Structure 1
Amino acid sequence: MSAKLPPGQRAIDHFPRFGVLAYAGRLPKRPVVPELHLLAKDKSSSSVRAEDLGELQRKELVADFHCVTSWSRCGLRWSGYGFKDFYEQFVVPRVRPEADDRFVELTALDGYRTSILLTDLLQENVVLADRLDGEPLSLEHGAPFRLVVPDLYAYKSVKHVSTMSLRKDFRRGLADRQTLAHPRGRVALEERGRGLPGPLYRVIYRALIPATLWYYRRFGTRGARRE
């Protein structure tokens, strides 16, 4: 999609299953009834099923996908629902956000967890995707629902989204702690990690790409442990 890639990124011609090593061996079972759980402040939970999403207009998005390790897959075609529409239709009336709720904490079916600024999620190019390149989203790439946030590095584009809650502060998940991930991760500003400049993280991460690819291929679809 982009004629010019962001700082430090290199385009590749395939879209591998890739991520934090701790999750390479975790591949959740596809739910019989896909649903998203919303946690309210009183710890009560409500569910939004796939059929409920039919109340929203579908959204098509063509966007480049930028991994924090420096590779990019350009021009991916996502289809799903605008997060802003989802938030206004389901989260606001059920969770009842407070004025100082600044973050959305997302938990995935494989246990992955991270927090994202609400202002970043309410951008028009953020979608909850259930289709990729004209096909139903595969488990390898995040089925049943994947959050796609093109302006942030891909560790914020959470696969297998299961649960959402609102928070006043940022809380790090396991992957955030293990990788020194930047709490926001804006691609344009090269916010790759904490404590070091983005260009230095490029060098470190690029050296880890071959081993990470090997590790994920080793598990693959059959070798990954079903949650």
Structure 2
Amino acid sequence: MSTNKEIKKEKSEAEKQDERKRTKLENELEEMIQRRKQIEGRSNKLDKEREEMIERRKQMKEEREEIKGKRTKLDNEREEMIEVRKQMEEGREEMIEKRKQMENERDKKKEKLKQMQRKLFIFDLGSESLLKLFKNEKDKEKRNTIGEMIFLVGDIQEQNEQIKEQNLQIEKQDERIKEQNLQIEKQNELIKEQNNRIDKQFERFNMNSLTKKAKGLSIGKVPQSFQQEHKTQGNFLLN
């Protein structure tokens, strides 16, 4: 039988062993709590980064939509300009056709005037000379012919002025068409710039997504190392 002294010694030794186990357990629990805090801190950081990335994605989407809206507006304006230019070109063609008709009429009158000149042997078609001939001519038929020639000269001069005016209008129309072409080119450049900005937005977004995935920070997913750490601590508690 064990003596009281031995019993006390064994009891003291058991208490010391229990104390060591309790101290070890407390230390392990404290370490586990610290690790859990670290994990929670990392998880919170991940959540924050994920929220920031979602917000950036939202902002980029809004900016992209805004750019697309501006680009659509530019496209519509460009189409309107193209339509205006088309109408101006059609108007220009009409003016050119009208000018050709006037030139044809004038040339016919000139030819008729030349025939009358040859018929009456008149080589000076100055209006004053024709008026003098008209006043001095006694022959009624020649007088009528000279009168007709005077009107023809007037018509030809008037048509020359109209042709000059048509030429001026065509030149002005050409200038307006050139201006429209320049505006359309500028719109094309703006649209290209908008397209480049949208491409850069997509590229930047894709790069951000790839970077986050490379760091194990993809949206809605905790990195494998963190999951493993959680699992280890859970097993420790069960044991």
Q: Which TM-score band (shorter chain)? A: under 0.3
* TM-score, scaled to structure 1: 0.16
The structure carrying a bigger strand percent of its residues is 1
Q: Which structure: larger Rg?
A: 2
* TM-score, scaled to structure 2: 0.15
The structure carrying a bigger helix percent of its residues is 2
